[in-house]
Amino acid sequence: MTSPPLLRGAPIASRLRAEVTLAASLFRDQVGGPPLIATLLTDRHPSALAYRDAIDRGVRRVGIDHRPVELATGSSSDSLIAALASLNQDRSVHGILVLMPLPADLSVHLVFEHLAPLKDVDGITPTNAGRLHLGLPSLRPSTPQGGIEILDFYGLPIAGQNAVVIGRSNVVGKPFATMLTHRHATVTTCHRQTRDLADLTRRADIVAVAAGHPGLINRAMLKPGAVVLDFGVNVVDGEVVGDADATGFAGLGIAYTPVPGGTGPVTTLVLAHNTVAAAFASLSGSLDAVATTPILL
């Protein structure tokens, strides 16, 4: 497929939906119950509630059950650890996603340390992050994996490309840079202390932006024909916008993911994929099984 100017997530989401539905039904036939993802809400933050709703709609549609679990407001670290231990031990739960952000008095390190790697469907534990880094089968963070799916679906090359990734969070920027490196791109990771960002982006074939900063990337910062993956989700004047100002992109032949409608729809389906992969991995008790889940990802 030739590079289109608009890299919409819908066709990838639709393909993943079909694949995950099939794999979830295979699991159900084999085990007698559906794959199940539990979400753990620790703070009634609007973005966490919105993501929980999206997960609920997205996974039920493909035959995965969702169990929403909530901690009471003001819960202690011990309560968070106990909730994770209970979900870790529950054999009917195959995937656990702790909704972010956590309240200020709960450290995300507790989640890293106490979430069972075999149920870590957003790939945030040291085991999954380490396995990704080493190139071993792992449960991969769904947003950056969705970015790879978009590039592949639209036939956009990765090997040999110069890629700039703006953002170095553990859930988006850092794992995406690792994934691109494994796929033989030459990757530069940028952050707030990067000097002359535009100089770097102008030389890039692929620019991925996950900063949470509307308008951080614009036409003047890109070379003609570049590919822009915009992971940003920001609300400006009541509208959802990304991190890139796409004005004039089409005139430069820049292929880009629109916001909304680009990377977002793919994320939930990759999470659903990971839940089924975790369900199959639970049968052998090994993350190596993720590589042989009966889904194409």
Within residues 203-222, the interface with ligand NAP by CB under 6 A covers: 210-213, 216
Nearer to ligand NAP among residue 35 and residue 232 (C-beta): 232
Q: How far is the CB of 47 from ligand NAP (least distance, A)?
A: 7
In angstroms, the Cα distances linking 134 to 128, 131, 138 are 10, 5, 10
Q: How far is the CB of 208 from ligand NAP (least distance, A)?
A: 10
In the numeric block, which tokens belong to residue 227? Answer: 């590919």
CA atoms within 13 A on the CB side of 102: 16
- The distance in angstroms from the start CA to the end CA of the chain is 19
Q: Does 171 bind ligand NAP (CB under 6 A)?
A: yes
143 φ/ψ angles, rounded to the nearest 5 degrees: -65, -55
Q: How far is the CB of 200 from ligand NAP (least distance, A)?
A: 10
Nearer to ligand NAP among residue 62 and residue 229 (C-beta): 229
The residue from 55, 99, 156, 190 that contacts ligand NAP (CB under 6 A) is 190
Q: Does 233 bind ligand NAP (CB under 6 A)?
A: yes
Task: Please report, as a single letter, which amino acid is at residue 251.
Answer: G
Residue window 242-281: x/- pattern of binding to ligand NAP, with contact defined by CB under 6 A: ---------------------xx--x--------------
User: Which of 257, 240, 233 has the alpha carbon at shortest distance from 147?
Assistant: 257
Q: Does 175 bind ligand NAP (CB under 6 A)?
A: no
Q: What three-state secondary structure class fits 104?
A: coil
Residues in the chain: 297
State the CB neighbour count (10 A cutoff) for residue 14.
12
Question: Total binding residues for ligand NAP by CB under 6 A?
Answer: 25
In angstroms, the Cα distances linking 231 to 138, 175, 190, 198 are 22, 13, 14, 18
Nearer to ligand NAP among residue 84 and residue 177 (C-beta): 177
Nearer to ligand NAP among residue 72 and residue 236 (C-beta): 236
The residue from 34, 117, 167, 258 that contacts ligand NAP (CB under 6 A) is 167
Q: What three-state secondary structure class fits 244?
A: strand
Name the residue number minimizing CB distance to ligand NAP. 169
Nearer to ligand NAP among residue 137 and residue 147 (C-beta): 147
Angle between helices 263-284 and 142-153 (to 10 degrees): 110
Nearer to ligand NAP among residue 101 and residue 251 (C-beta): 101
Q: Does 189 bind ligand NAP (CB under 6 A)?
A: no
Q: Does 21 bind ligand NAP (CB under 6 A)?
A: no
What is the DSSP annotation of 65-131?
Answer: EEEEEEPPTT--HHHHHHHHHHHHH-TT--EEEE-SPPPTTS-HHHHHHHS-GGGBTT--SHHHHHH
Q: How far is the CB of 92 from ligand NAP (least distance, A)?
A: 27
β-partners of residue 230 are 209
Fill in the DSSP letter of residue 220.
Answer: G
Contacts with ligand NAP, residue ranges (CB under 6 A): 143, 166-169, 171-173, 190-194, 210-213, 216, 231-234, 263-264, 267
